[in-house]
Amino acid sequence: MARAWQSEAADMVEEQIVGRDVRDARILEAFVSVPRHLFVPPEYAGTAYVDRPLPIGERQTISQPYMVAKMTELLLTEPGMKVLEIGTGSGYQSAVLASLGLRVWSVERLESLAMEAQKRLSDLNFDVKVIYGDGRGGFPEEAPYDRIIVTAASPRVEAAWDSQLALNGRLVAPLNVMTGNQRLLVRENLAQGFRNTWYDYCRFVPLLQGTE
Ligand code: SAH
């Protein structure tokens, strides 16, 4: 690479993340500490820190840095919390969460991506367990979770996610709202019931059924 990756990551944080509206110092630190270029295929390593999603094989993508930051901010985490991710992909979002001191379980429906992500995360010493499976059912073995983050676009909030979310827990997910449109949903599990709040429009690959 032409420059040290830390310098590219610092510019990414300034221009794409602080430059928009994510200001939480802990989140910004996480983004300079995770080597994003190791989460993309080698041929994209030189463009890993640019302002867009990138292909990671199997017709899937690693999300744009800003979207990872925005969802992490909306998740409102505290160190030590248990987090479930649906849609491991490259493992980058999981790594950002783990570097915030969270304990992460992440479900991926494509076996090759799940295996690659687990190896990458373990090699880099991130505290993340990757599960190969259909994340529409969550991962009941470790429930309840303080936080659930879905990183593929879903037509609905699955009943399994609601039932695996701790009291006062939060879920962040891109939901299909109208033909071709997706929007970030924050869903809180409050004593009086679930409360939904809608945020940015976004574009994610679809949440699909079953495993491959
Ligand atoms: N969070 C990832 C990007 C996610 S791309 C990252 O940081 O790189 C969306 C991922 O969700 C893809 O890898 C896709 O295979 C996966 N996916 C889609 N439907 C799924 C399902 N039902 N269960 C688990 N994973 C799913």
> Per residue in 1-38, pLDDT tens?
557 999 999 999 999 999 999 999 999 999 999 999 99
48 lines ligand 1 (CB under 6 A): no
161 lines ligand 1 (CB under 6 A): no
What domain range is 97 assigned to? 51-202
Residue 58, domain member (yes or no):
yes
Residue 157, domain member (yes or no):
yes
CB 94: neighbour CB atoms within 10 A?
Answer: 32
Residue with tokens 């479930």: 84
The alpha carbon torsion through 183, 200, 139, 129 (nearest 10 deg) reads 140
Residue 49, pLDDT score: 97
Residue 117, domain member (yes or no):
yes
Domain count, the chain: 1
Residue 184, pLDDT score: 98
Taking 90 as the threshold, does the pLDDT of residue 203 lie above it? yes
CB 85: neighbour CB atoms within 10 A?
Answer: 28
Taking 70 as the threshold, does the pLDDT of residue 180 lie above it? yes
The whole-angstrom separation of Cα 120 and Cα 3 is: 22
The stretch 94-120 carries a mean pLDDT of 98
Residue 179, pLDDT score: 82
The stretch 59-79 carries a mean pLDDT of 97
Residue 201, pLDDT score: 95
CATH number at residue 188: 3.40.50.150
Q: In a mutational test of the pocket of ligand 1, which residue from 61, 108, 154 has the highest number of ligand atoms less than 8 Å from its CB?
A: 108
Assigned token pair, 2 = 């032409």
The residue type of 126 is F
Q: In a mutational test of the pocket of ligand 1, which residue from 36, 202, 205, 211 has the highest number of ligand atoms less than 8 Å from its CB?
A: 205
Q: Is 23 helix (H, G, I), strand (E, B) or coil?
A: coil
Residue 2, pLDDT score: 57
